[in-house]
Amino acid sequence: MYRADGARSAQLWAICAVHVDDRANDRIMKARGTCPAQTMLGLLLSFDANGVPHARHANLVGWPMPKHEWKNLQQKIADAMSLEMRPEA
């Protein structure tokens, strides 16, 4: 995931074009979801802002075990997100 705070939409799509899209396999991100960091923190997840492959990159850590509990948290995160479709290039 990428931290969006303080970035403009065009900046985030540029990061996506370089670090997320896989043009060789025709896998181009069509949309992205954005939500407040508090959403994850409220679910007792946290961030490892490792900056790889980009300075805004972070891993979401603290997922519960067993793994079958992940879907519930993922749904709560998705519900908190706002959807932005990728502008036509």
Reported as a single tens digit per residue, the pLDDT across 26-42 is: 999 999 999 999 999 99
Q: Is residue 84 exposed (0-12), middle (13-18) or buried (19+ Cβ within 10 Å)?
A: middle
Residue range 43-89, pLDDT digits in tens: 999 999 999 999 999 999 999 988 888 999 999 999 999 999 999 85
11 pLDDT more than 70: yes
Distance CA 70, CA 57 (A): 21
* 43 close to 73: Cβ distance less than 8 angstroms: yes
pTM confidence score:
0.82
Angstrom CA distances, 87 to 6, 14, 15, 54, stand at 19, 11, 14, 22
Residue 68: the pLDDT is: 86
